[in-house]
Amino acid sequence: MLPEEKVLDHGVLRIMFYSLDSYACIVAHISISVPSEHNRFSHLRTVEFMGTDRPWLNLYGNRVRPVAPFGSFSSKPYVDPALIHRCLPDELLFEVFARMRPYTLGRAACVCRKWRYTVRNPILWQNVCLKIWQSYGAEANYIIVRSLYNGSWRKMWVQRPRIRNDGLYVSRNTYIRTGVAEWKVTNPVHVVCYYRYLRFFPSGKFLYKISSQKVKEVAKCMNHASKAECVFRGDYKLTEDQVEAALLYPGMRLTVLTMRLRLRGTTMGANNRLDLLRLVTTGVNENEVNSHVDGVLGLVEGWEEDETHDPDVPAISHRRGLTPFVFVPFEEADTSVLNLPVDKMDYFVPG
Amino acid sequence: MAKMIKLVSGDGAEFEVEEEVAFQSKIIKDIVADADDVIPLPTVSSKVLIQVIEYCRKHAAVNSFPLSPSSSAAAAASSSSSISYSKPVSDPALRAWDNEFVKLNNSSLFDIVIAANYLDIEELVDLVLETVADRIKGKQAQEIRRQFNIENDFTPEEEEALRRENSWAFQNN
């Protein structure tokens, strides 16, 4: 390139490039305002280029496939090595994606450009959104997506707090109790570890279990059909990021357990932490239970923290064992670190 | 004596099947309604046709009723309609047979689903697509690429940006 300098009278240095390369012709006119005191030195070519325009920099980082010029013998049509793309028409590829869970969709978006494009189809996200937030009702969801998330279902999926239903929320609590002095052990202490398990369903029901059993054993029995002992059913309601949950313990003295939790995540969209704000057990009387059709939540709605409707069962707001819940997907139930016994991990920092 | 329909594959081989077996395919059902018993299927090879017929034979015994028409996949891609699924197979023995049936490599699966799509056999299309989706489930992006021989056409910056954007899908703790 041969630059040509030309100083104009009002102190603007104009530099023009003409390329002699026959395959590419770049003509750039760069006008740099040069302070007047430098004009005298311009003949010495000491004026530095103050700004440079290098259009070829835009090509860096783009995988530009070299294309032979038109009509050349070496130009080959691009053949996609992936059989799935050559065989399946786009509609069928879309149908495959329609059968994937949202977390798989998120990972699929990172595979290649075609998949990223297909994953962005709003119908996929509309369906998963309507399913997970079904307790709000379809109409409310439509209004919310339009007003808060610009009509983008995908954005709503990532940004709006949602309770996950593909695993368990696990709260691992430990406490120390003194043990019995033995032969040489004079002041023994035991570290006791127990878990609270929560499993939520989009229909508004949840399951609760408190046990010393590890995640990998409990994961199998936390379902509706399970006749396992000590798995209790209740109702919950999610309002923005607050969860109100209540269940009724069966038995002679009717006791209701209510929890208030706050949903958050370690990253946007993860929804993998539930902070336990309040845990109250209180008494209800039998007549109320039978007459209330709204379910357990409606039964204890608006009660004070110390309110009880059965004088034999005082209202207790529990202060211990309130470690935040950590989400463990079912696939990770066996390998989760929360399975570790106390000698390997005495406390898990939920973060 | 059940009425027999003759199917001719792309490479000229002829297959005679009972009417109710062939009628698993809505397309064939419609063609035969126009009084034509010999149906050429130029886009379907013999190998694939044999497998499809095997599937239809097994399912014809179960399904006495024709399947409800599905909205076509093309309509599903447009914004007006939502995705439809055929009713799930309830009989566990049949489901076990189906699972064995789809233990094929990706290439064969794709051939079958294209043929089933052409012939409009909703349950078979659904079965194969579910199988493909299962093969993708639980895998990381690199594993998916290896399985399906997909080229990674992202720049490192784009890949990083995507990974950040979809971190909720990866992060599980």
- Pull the structure tokens for residue A56: 């070829």
Confidence of residue A51 (pLDDT cuts 50, 70, 90): low
Nearest to A113 among B106, B139, B153 (CB): B153
Residue A243 and residue A261 in contact, taking contact as beta carbons nearer than 8 Å: yes
A-to-B residue pairs, Cβ atoms closer than 8 angstroms: 157
- The verdict on A339 touching B (C-beta cutoff 8 Å) is no
A138 shares contact with chain B (CB less than 8 Å): no
pLDDT in tens, A283-305: 887 777 777 767 778 777 778 77
Rounded alpha-carbon distances, angstroms, from residue B126 to A126, B47, B86, B122, B131: 20, 20, 7, 6, 9
Q: DSSP code of B120?
A: T
Cα distances (angstroms) measured from residue B52 to each of B6, B32, B47, B59: 14, 18, 9, 11
A296-300, A309-313, B84-88, B96-100: lowest mean pLDDT where? Answer: B84-88
Q: Does A272 touch chain B (CB under 8 A)?
A: yes
Tell me the two tokens of residue A137: 């009702």
ipTM over 0.85 threshold:
no
User: Across the interface, do B73 and A95 touch by the CB < 8 Å criterion?
Assistant: yes
SS3 call for A147: helix
Question: Would you state the structure tokens that stand for residue A87, as one six-digit string?
Answer: 């065989």
A106 to B166: CB separation less than 8 angstroms, yes or no: yes
The angle subtended at Cα A95 by Cα A91 and Cα A98, nearest 5°, is 140
Kindly give, in sequence order, each residue whose CB lies less than 8 Å from that of residue A13, ignoring residues fewer than 6 positions away.
A5, A6, A7, A31, A32, A33, A34, A42, A47
A84–B138: do the CB atoms touch at under 8 Å? no
- Name all domains of chain A by residue range, CATH numbers in brackets: 4-33 (no CATH), 87-160 (1.20.1280), 167-339 (no CATH)
Which pLDDT band holds residue A50 (cuts at 50, 70, 90)?
very low
CA angle B26, B27, B29 (to 5 degrees): 65
Q: What is the pLDDT of residues A200-244, one digit of tens each?
A: 999 899 999 999 999 988 888 888 877 777 889 999 999 888 999
Q: Does A126 touch chain B (CB under 8 A)?
A: yes
Task: Give A56-98 pLDDT, tens digit per residue.
Answer: 766 565 555 555 566 666 556 667 777 778 888 888 899 999 9
Q: Check if the beta carbon of residue A24 is closer than 8 Å to that of residue A8.
A: no
Q: What is the mean pLDDT of chain A?
A: 79
Q: What would the mean pLDDT of B16-35 be, rounded to a whole number?
A: 83
Choice between A205 and A45, residue whose per-residue pLDDT is larger: A205
**Structure pTM?**
0.70
Rg, chain A, Cα only? 33
In this complex, which of B76, B125, B149 lies closest to A94 when CB atoms are compared? Answer: B76
The beta-carbon neighbor of B148 closest among A82, A91, A122 is A82
